[in-house]
Structure 1
Amino acid sequence: MASRTLVAKCHCEAVHFSITVPVSALPLGVHLCHCSVCRTTHGTYTCFHAPLPDGVRPVFAAPSSLEGSTTGYRHAKAACTRYFCKTCGCHIGDDDYEEGKAIENPGWRIASSLFGHGLHDDGSPDQAFMLRSHALTNSAPSGFHEWLPTLGSRTLPKWNPKPGDAFYPPATDIPYEPNDPEYDADGREVLRAECHCGGVSFTIARPADCTGEMASRSPKLPDRWLACLDTCDDCRLVDGAHVIGWGEVPLASLVPKVTADLELGTLKRYQSSKGAMRAFCSVCGATVFFRNLETSASNVDVATGLLRAPEGVTAHRWLHWRHGRIVYPESGQRYHADFTNSLITGFRVWAAKTYNEEQVSEAS
């Protein structure tokens, strides 16, 4: 049977593997999962997972290995083990797990964002992956799926489990939390950010409750911090996803205190380039922080997939997602053109509608 071998690497290249797939199984379908577990173990709004055909598993290139190069994370109700690079935090995918039972041939879902440029483009001669659907969108109100309703000329359907599904509990059984705003000891509203395992947890204050540098405060909506989407290659290869959201805030707005060296709880640091310091949870793998070492010592970017805003996962009453603000779009277009171009369009439409409607509502 004709087959094709595809190669993947994380940013630091400590994780280096390949998959060999029957040509008849290509392109592999990719689902974008929006569940709270994927959001808070990645720090992104969604993962990009491609289920592998039966019997196909990643083959690691020495000295890389699953046991030596990755950390496996399994929470109390997990149906799989999630793996991420020990060095840079990049998620590579997950395999089946059932407590108390040995699974002889576990099924794998692999992060398609780690493979080469152009492999996702629909209809291209090299196409190996096809984004097919959003999944578990009911657990992500006001979510990323609203920014990407279509991919090129295709509508991306939304899949949610049916009531009574024993393997995939209905999203209504996993309510979005918290339902109510959170306040500090002085009665001021704060926004919680927390990874899945809870090893990294902190709150963010409103601009009005902060002193010092305010460059990250929105000039149009001064009660909110500025935010953007990022499709650069470095972020893709340290997160294992096509795109990540960043909210820029002063370090002074965070409680408990986070140092300029990004020390807090279970954080592990990774310097992805000369001027870029990143931090991820060493237990569950969630991307948490990015800091530009060359421009500001007082601000930090927070991965927005970790935010627990009552209004929904985009936290649009805390963040100002400026219209069309996607940084490094050329990287995203080079990697997956249909995705990036469709996201730019959908994001602009959502932002214009959301903030215009909100301002009208507040004015009335």
Structure 2
Amino acid sequence: MASRTLAAKCHCGAVHFSITVPVAALPLGVHLCHCSVCRTTHGTYTCFHAPLPAGVRPVFVAPSSLAGSTTGYRHATAACTRYFCKTCGCHIGDDDYEEGKTIDNPGWRIASSLFGRGLHGDGSPGQAFMLRSHALTKSAPSGFHEWLPTVGSRTLPKWNPKPRDTFYPPATDDPYEPTEAEHDADGREVLRAECHCGGVSFTIARPADCTGEMTSRSAELPDRWLACLDTCDDCRLVDGAHVIGWAEVPLSSLVPRVTADLELGTLKCYQSSKGVMRTFCGVCGATVFFRNLATSGNNVDVATGLLRAPEGVTAQRWLHWRHGRIVYPESGQKYHADFTNSLLQSFKAWAAKTYSEDEVTGHL
């Protein structure tokens, strides 16, 4: 049977593997999972996972290896182990035990975002992956699936488990979305950010409760911080996803205190380029902070997939997604044009509809 070999690398290159897939199985379907576990282990709003055909497994290129180059994370109720690079934190995928598979013979779901350019474009000669659906969207009401209803000319359907599903719990049982606002010891409302394992947990204050220069506060909605989506290559290769959301906040707004070196809990630091610091949880792999020493000043970017806002995962009472802004769209367009162009259009339209005149004048 004719087959095709596809290669993938994380940002630092410590994880390097290939998959050899029957040509008849291509393009591999990719689902965008919105469950709380994926959000809080990645730091992104969704993962981009392609289930591999039976018997197909990643083959690591020496000196890279699964045991030596990655950390595995499997929580108490998991049916899979999630693997991420020990050096840069990039998620590479899961080995999956559902549907009769065992630890000795797992299936695999691979992060398609780690493979090279030109492999996702619909109808392209080299197409190897196709974005097919949003999964578990009821775990993320008002989530990223609203910002990407289509890819090119295709509508992305939404999949959720049926009632009484014994494998996937109902979205209403999701333990990661609080139902009430959190307050500090002085009674001021704060926003919790926390990775899945809880090794990194902190709160963010409102702009009015912070001191110093508030360059990251929204001018139109001064009770909120500015946020954006990012499709740059560096973020893609340290997160294992096409896109990530960032909220820029002052270091002074965080409790407990986070040092300028971004030390907190189980964080590990990775310098992706000169003067650029990125951190991830060393236990569950969640991307947490980004800081450019040359341009960030006293601010830091927080991965928005970790935010625990009662109003929903987009945290609209805390964040201003101003003008539906996406940074470094040219990188995303070079990597997967259909995805990035569709997101640019839909996200901008969502922002125009959401931030109405009444909201901008403070009546939300």
The alignment covers a number of residue pairs equal to: 362
| 1:12 correspondence with 2:32 | no
| Aligned counterpart, 1:132 | 132
| Contact 1:141/1:313, CA 8 A, preserved across alignment | yes
In 1, are the aligned partners of 2:96 and 2:106 still within 8 Å (CA)?
A: yes
Give the corresponding residue for 1:334: 334
Residue equivalent to 1:350: 350
Q: Residue type matched to 1:17 in 2?
A: F
Alignment correspondent of 1:199: 199
8 Å CA contact 1:140–1:176 kept in 2: the answer is no
Q: CA deviation at 1:103?
A: 3.0
Matched, 1:319 2:311: no
Partner in structure 1 of residue 74 of structure 2? 74
Quote the offset at 1:102 in angstroms: 4.9
Distance 1:5 1:208 in 2: 54
2:356 is paired with a residue of what secondary structure? helix
| Structure 1 vs Structure 2 CA RMSD | 1.4
Opposite residue 3 of structure 1, the aligned amino acid is S
- Whether the 8 Å contact between 1:49 and 1:112 is mirrored in structure 2 is yes
* Aligned twin of 1:96: 96
Aligned to 1:309: 309
What TM-score comes out, normalization by structure 2 length? 0.97
Shift of 1:342: 0.5
| Cα distance in 1 between the residues matched to 2:13 and 2:260 | 26
Percent of aligned positions that are identical: 87
Structure 2 unaligned spans of 5+: none
Q: 1:287 to 1:343 in 2, by over 3 A?
A: same
The amino acid that maps onto 2:24 is S
Unaligned runs of at least 5 residues, structure 1: none
Partner of 1:165: 165
Residue identity in the other structure for 1:328: Y
- 1:275 maps to 275
Question: C-alpha separation between the residues in 1 aligned to 2:97 and 2:88?
Answer: 24
Letter in 2 for 1:66: L
Name the CA distance, whole Å, in 2 between partners of 1:297 and 1:345: 31
The ranges of structure 1 where at least 4 consecutive aligned residues each deviate by more than 4 angstroms after the TM superposition are none
The alpha-carbon deviation at position 168 of structure 1 amounts to: 1.5
Deviation at 1:167, TM superposition (A): 1.3
Output the CA distance in 1 between the equivalents of 2:267 and 2:163: 37
Deviation per CA, 1:263-309: give whole Å up to 9, x if none.
Answer: 00000000000021000000000000000111133100000000001
What TM-score do you get using the length of structure 1 for normalisation?
Answer: 0.97
d(CA) in 1 for partners of 2:73 and 2:253? 30
Matched, 1:32 2:32: yes
Counterpart-to-counterpart distance in 2, 1:362 and 1:235: 33
- State the SS of the aligned residue for 1:53: coil
CA distance in 1, matches of 2:181, 2:126: 48
CA distance in 1, matches of 2:48, 2:239: 11
C-alpha separation in 1, matches of 2:194 and 2:73: 16
Tell me, yes or no, if the aligned pair for 1:139 and 1:175 is still in contact at 8 Å: no
* Distance change in 2, residues 1:270/1:5 (3 Å): same
Aligned counterparts of 2:198 and 2:62: Cα–Cα separation in 1: 33
Contact map agreement 1:139 1:176 (CA 8 A) in 2: no
SS of residue matched to 2:359: helix
